[in-house]
Structure 1
Amino acid sequence: MDTQLADFIRDTHAGRIAGEILRKCVHCGFCTATCPTYQLLGDELDGPRGRIYLIKQVLEGREVTEKTRSHLDRCLTCRSCETTCPSGVKYSQLLDVGRQVVEAKLKRPLRESLPRTLLKTVLPNPALFAPAVKIGRALKPLLPSSLADKLPPLPETGRPWPVKQGHSRRMLTLAGCVQPTLAPNINAATARVLDRLGIELFEEVKAGCCGAVRFHLNDQARAKDDMRRNIDAWWPHVEGGVEAIVVTASGCGVQVRDYARLLADDAVYAGKAAKISALCRDPSEIVAAEGERLRALLPASPRGKLAFHSPCTLQHGLQIRGIIESLLAAAGYVLTPVADGHLCCGSAGTYSVLQPELAEKLRINKLTALNAGGPALIATANIGCLTHLQAGGMTPVRHWIELIDEALT
């Protein structure tokens, strides 16, 4: 795609990235067929190809309009288009650049800026998020459905973290910002599973939000501060020889694995960020690598029918497909088929709060597909998908690692 970037962006780091991505696009339209918002709305500008044209116009100096921003806002950043693209266009990276420029050039009205400010202030801060959830549960009948959906019942008290066994293999894990409040058993279950496999898992309390919340709300400067804080918190453990950084929410995993790219122009942190990204692992990668040992520990007993929802961040972001399904099958579950498994459930971080109508339609479609085979359970790999799907249906939704943990007890 021929591109003539405007002076304000041409010679910048972001401009060089955008120019390279735009030149790769041959506007074939394959991406459109797999775009969830295009399928719902049928508008070319609500598909990747149309949005690429809008971003191109903005970066070439065209006036930024509300129409342009609304089409970019409606993108889920699910990256299904990247999986489909035959030219390897990194659409999500281009979208990051485009959204940042639009945000800088066009002030949002208060009705749009206020919820975004609240989200990027409260969600990344557990000290604010935990009491907000407690208050929200008490006032749940009075809240808009888009917010009430995000407040699952009080989590059951799970079994504790394993007592330290002195394993020679040690790995870090990210506690994250919302997961400790909404589903604290997920990391504990991961620790118990890895303990059975001879691996010690521990959290570093000085680490916090991975940066994804602020980054995808166009507050990229503060998001990078979140990343630097995590790098500083983890670095002594990296120097001490920790084997991996295990991230149990696939959305956070995509972000941490992207630290190397996002901080590549930071003279102080670039090298450390590259090391952190290289150490980042989804728990499925760790458990699958110990497959033989795991299967020897699992009892040979059937556990019923289950549908697996693969988060977009898992299959399109981390490019992990089929691994978790095989682990669940080994644990005794019969996996039911799920039509259009590549499509987003509508959670997409803060998307379900900011775009509730589209998110609800996507959730209905996803739950219909997941429940078609009559499963007793739905499993997933991301806290956002888990809470979003659980709020929309009657079938219990669990993180897959909890099910492996239960199968091992």
Structure 2
Amino acid sequence: MGKDNQDIVIVGGGIGGLTLALALHARNIPCRVYEAAAEFQPLGVGINMLPHAIRVLSGLGLGDALKAYGVEAREFAYFNRHGQLIFSEPCGRFAGYPDPHFSIHRADLHKVIYEAVVDRMGAERVSLGNCCIGVDQEPGSATAQFDNGNAATGPIVIACDGFHSAVRRQYYPDEGDPHFGGINMWRGVTRREPFLTGASVTRVGTVQRGKMVIYPIRQFNDGTQLINWNTEQPRDDHKPNDWAAPGRIEDFIEPFADWRFHWLNIPALFKDAEFILEYPMVDRDPVDRWVWGRIALMGDAAHPMYPRGGNGGAQAILDAECLARLLSDTEAPEAALKAYEAERLEITNRVVLTNRAQPPDFIIEKVEDLTNGEPFDRIEDVIDHADLAAISDRYKEVAKYSLPEP
């Protein structure tokens, strides 16, 4: 698409939508972002940005800013519920990738991308307070309608309006409520001294008996860090409207009450948290179509998935890079949208299903089964290291961030 085209309409100013705006701008393709929120507020907790996503963001000139805000991860470490190390492996540049793996507060990541959009494109290119309620199209253009009576028309509309996408609902009106995985999550952040390497992405335990994911997301000048933590437990009481509700320690601490490991005191981590949020573990079944003429779904609107393996935000960023690249290579936007769907749909659908059935912490579940949940003397007597590495490698291959062959 050339410079003389109308502005592409991007519905949603989250990580995916703003990354798409930057990627289009870098290719001299004009666009505007329409965001439902009246103002951007710091939301969420930690997020892992895998090397394939960092490659895209660094290519957009954001590498230094991400390094200033986040923590460059050194390793993935897997422990059983007794605090015993099962398996560890380097990650990011420490594993030989050309790009780092950053753990960062979602609000910081969003701020970095948003400020780049405003600096390069102008604040007027992001229009707040416009909640999309539907889309339509005619030959040569597509239009997004907003709940305030406004509308935005462009050559194409890209729906980056998130998990509860109104555009997805328009094309899949019978989809119903999200798929609940029978698991609730409690997430929080705690400022404390570094643990393990000071840059470890750590998974502990299994969902059945209590599971945690723990990693640092911000470094302070006094040597302390902001530690992101996430717990998962089976539940049958999910309600469709439960989303980021305030959480209470007493609702989830029982399986973790004696998790005082030599490398980290888990009850203290909960007690000292700045806040606690409760989320349901939800996704949606994969669909076989994202594109209808001049309208396309992207990011969570296209492939909402369990927040496992650092893939929610990463896959949205990869969508953005793919879509911008294809749009820059053609004067036929409808053909570019179909090419984007062909390149990205099957990959992300596999990630959605793998996150349900065999996420990265399947390593821990495997050892839990082999040991009946009891402590072990030597992990080598339980399972071969190569078998554990193979489980990890399979997930990387599905998510398309395995190292290329030398």
**Smaller-chain TM-score bracket:** under 0.3
Greater RCO (Cα-Cα under 8 Å, separation 6 or more): 2
TM-score (norm 1): 0.27
Q: Which has the higher helix share?
A: 1
